[in-house]
Chain A
Amino acid sequence: MTAQRLFIPFILFLVIAFLIGPFLIIVAASFSAGETLAFPPQGFSLRWIAKVFTVESFRASFGMSMFLAIGGTAAALILGIPASYALSRYKLPGAEIVRTVVSAPIIVPGIIVGLALLRYIVVPFQVGITLALFLAHTALVLPYAVRVVSASLENLRSDIEEAAVLLGSSRLGAFFRVVMPNIRGGILSAFILGFVTSFNQVPVSLFLSGPGVRTMPIDMIAYMEIVFDPSVAALSSLLAFMSIGIVFAAERFLGFSRYV
């Protein structure tokens, strides 16, 4: 029994070390004073963390990824909230087809979505790369938006808005005054899930990059193929802390995990 009692925590320790260890190594390496990426880090300095903010391409691609993550998720919600509402509150003809079409991008690998968009939208219609990336990221986030918003609509009793309508409110008024305040947590959670998904997404953007137009992760991969200094480690750590911070705050204030 004692052997067992020690064995299980030991396994757990190994698993956690395997899952978290690499990330801790990256964090440690980003404080290195040395010229190349290494662990254990050579000395201690903040020079690589500082350097991240001075690399021009990092600043541009961070801005691009922020724009895609915020704008794309907002667009996905603007499309997704009415669709979720129609799916959960109306007798919608072809509801299954709508649901399948809207949530299909989740099943198809991102690299294929990017390639299809490049060949059959970008090239024939002369769409700019930035707009193409925006469309791709919106399509990618749409399934998450519909899933999370639908789930919170399902948890809200539909008779309160029927009551509002019976009492003379317009359908639209009932939606904004009765439904929206009740699914705000779900919408915010969908936004955060969409933001993190979009920001970290690589494959969909692989073929949709042009001169000067790159998402953050693509730019990081391009940088580390050329320069092997700890700045990508520093950048990775900063971005990871940003994601973790957002999700942690969401869990704290919204009970994020209830929705996703």
Chain B
Amino acid sequence: MFQNRAEALALALPAAIFAAAVFLVPVVILLSDGFRNPTGGWSVSAYIEFFSNPLNQAVFLRTLKLGALVTVTAAVIGYAAAFAIVNLEPGMKGKVTGLVVLPLMISPVARTYAWIVILGRTGIVNEAFQALGLTQAPLRILFSETAIFIGLLQLFLPLMIISLISALENMPKDAVPAARVLGANWLQVFWKVILPLTKEGLVIGGTLVFTGCLTAYITPAILGGSKVLMLETLLYQQVSVSNNFVAASVIAFILIAMSFAANILLKRVATARNKQRRAAA
């Protein structure tokens, strides 16, 4: 540990000043806009106005609903996939994990674009449904909540699987066989053994997926279109179409508050786990 304070500040301040000037100050001013009333005082009238609009309510609830649905679905699929991957032989495990991580390196634009080919009017799903005689006319899957749900799930499922893989790998090896030998069925093994032992991984994965859904822009923009909005796309519309910067500030505050809350939760869980580890060691 070096003690020279002036040197330390000289090293650290350029980065801190840069981040404060380019990012922190502008964002704080932007957020404070939403708490101003026209006469210059402080008020929450912009928030009351925002939430009294039924369209905004619908967008807010849709964002929460899709975030929750994607997170829960990712958790269910994630457990099955992570459990399968952990039980693969070592060589296969690395390869399959690589395949799970691969989509994270591909641009979200490309990943979302693919769903147009799959879900569009003349897309694979519609062609298949019509060929099988399930539907007469093409279904309208694009520009719906379903399309956004599928797109978001595909975008963020890898994060959940990776979190659960590391949680499952840290679980004592003999916990599951022990429970099985003692007569627990698979459902009991999951609820009573796997879930409590991998809770942290689930919370970390869940937070990543949920905040990812809140702050995703491309997926709702491309797969939801201009009618099925989420908070991010509503923010964009408020600025570029309605020039309503106050509403944009309100949405920004809601988004930041929700991701902040999720991150604090994440930090709590992480420190609790570190303490546990230290106690164990």
Contacts and interface: CB of A to CB of B under 8 A. Distances in A.
Report the interface size class on chain B: 35 or more
Contacts of A142: 15, 18-19
Contact of A247 (B29, B83, B105, B157): B105
Contacts of B14: 79, 82-83
A210 interface: no
B137 interface: no
Interface stretch (B115-123, B189-197, B269-277): B115-123
Contacts of B256: 107-109, 112
Nearest to A196: B105
Nearest to B78: A15
Interface in A143-170: 146, 158, 162
B102 A233 contact: no
A224 interface: yes
B107 A240 contact: yes
B25 interface: yes
B19 A104 contact: yes
B107 A239 contact: yes
Interface stretch (B2-10, B35-43, B54-62, B198-206): B2-10
A233 B111 CA distance: 10
**Most A C-beta atoms less than 10 A away, residue of B109, B110, B232:** B110
A55 interface: no
Contacts of B110: 23, 26, 236-237, 239-240
A8 B9 CA distance: 55
Contact of B118 (A25, A97, A120, A203): A25
Contacts of A82: 11-12, 14-15
Interface string A177-214: 00000000000000000001001101100110000000
A252 B208 CA distance: 27
Interface string B205-224: 00000000011011001100
A243 B235 CA distance: 30
B22 interface: yes
Contacts of B215: 109-111, 203
Given A117-B22, A121-B26, A142-B18, A16 B100 contact: yes
B84 A105 contact: no
Contacts of B139: none
Contact of B5 (A93, A108, A111): A93
A225 to B, nearest CB: 9
A91 B81 CA distance: 45
Contacts of A18: 154, 157
Contacts of A107: 256, 259-260, 263
B236 A23 contact: no
B106 interface: yes
Contacts of A232: 113
A33 interface: no
B77 interface: yes
B157 A90 contact: no
Contacts of B8: 86, 90-93
B99 interface: yes
Interface string B84-121: 11010000000010011011011111110111111000
B10 to A, nearest CB: 8
Contact of A240 (B106, B122, B232): B106
A116 B26 contact: yes
A162 B2 CA distance: 8
Contacts of B99: 16, 19-20
Contact of A217 (B27, B29, B107, B115): B107
Contacts of B44: none
B1 A91 contact: yes
A131 to B, nearest CB: 11
A139 interface: yes
Contacts of B9: 86, 92-93
11 contacts: A11-B81, A91-B8, A92-B8, A104-B19, A110-B217, A119-B26, A120-B26, A121-B22, A202-B218, A236-B110, A239-B110
Interface of B: 1-5, 7-9, 11-16, 18-20, 22-27, 29-30, 77, 80-81, 83-85, 87, 96, 99-100, 102-103, 105-111, 113-118, 122-124, 154, 157-158, 161, 214-215, 217-218, 221-222, 232, 235-236, 239-240, 245, 248, 252, 255-256, 259-260, 263
Closest 8 CB pairs of A and B: A22-B114, A236-B110, A90-B8, A116-B26, A83-B15, A86-B11, A86-B12, A109-B215
